[in-house]
């Protein structure tokens, strides 16, 4: 019985990795196209510095077959402003530009002007990882318990209001 469970877990992990790899962004290899995110990544590599840390990192829990958020011990609490968190996300995901729009009640409103990479090229797992990390990062801010993402809907991600509970309730397959 344990052998079957291990096989099922390995098969599920392989399927998720295959889906993620098959939806990779192909223009990443094009060195002739420089964007501010690419330049930041090159500077970081040249200097040997680490990327800015987010408060939580998305991880796949094989037992529950869900994405979970793991607290990041490298997170610097001095970065706990909406703009600094947005910059950390854009450094870690240079293909996705995120703009802090406004706060109303307990909701932070964000805009992703060009969501093609998020919605079409990261795959469902990659998009869910991004949304989880962004949601957990911004809900670390005092008084913020939900994050409203505004972007054009695509195959792998939906705009709307996200909370930490949303990720706790949903399996990665949903």
d(CA 54, CA 47): 20
**pTM, rounded to two decimals:** 0.65
Closest C-alpha among 79, 65, 50 to residue 140: 79
pLDDT value of position 108: 97
Q: In the chain, where are the structural domains located?
A: 2-23+35-169
Rounded CA gap, 123 and 156, in Å?
6
**Conformational region of residue 14, where left means phi above 0, alpha means psi within -120 to 50, and beta covers everything else:** alpha
Per residue of the chain (174 residues), give pLDDT as tens.
555 454 565 555 555 555 544 555 444 444 444 444 443 444 444 444 455 688 888 888 888 888 888 888 888 777 688 998 999 999 999 999 999 999 999 999 999 999 999 999 999 999 999 999 999 999 999 999 999 999 999 999 999 999 999 988 764 443
Burial class of residue 162, CB neighbours in 10 A (0-12, 13-18, 19+):
buried
């Amino acid at each position: 019985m344990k052998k079957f469970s291990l096989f099922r877990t390995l098969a599920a992990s392989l399927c998720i990795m295959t889906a993620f790899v098959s939806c990779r962004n192909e223009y990443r290899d094009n060195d002739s196209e420089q964007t501010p995110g690419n330049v930041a990544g090159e500077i970081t590599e040249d200097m040997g510095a680490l990327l800015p840390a987010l408060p939580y990192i998305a991880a796949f829990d094989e037992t529950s077959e869900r994405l979970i958020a793991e607290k990041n011990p490298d997170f610097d609490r001095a970065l706990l402003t909406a703009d600094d968190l947005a910059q950390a996300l854009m450094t870690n995901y240079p293909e996705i530009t995120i703009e802090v729009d406004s706060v109303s009640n307990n909701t932070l409103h964000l805009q992703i002007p060009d969501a093609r990479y998020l919605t079409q090229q990261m795959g469902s797992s990659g998009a869910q990882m991004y949304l989880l990390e962004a949601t957990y990062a911004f809900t670390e801010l005092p008084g913020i318990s939900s994050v409203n993402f505004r972007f054009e809907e695509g195959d792998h991600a939906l705009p709307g209001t996200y909370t930490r509970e949303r990720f706790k309730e949903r399996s990665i397959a949903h």
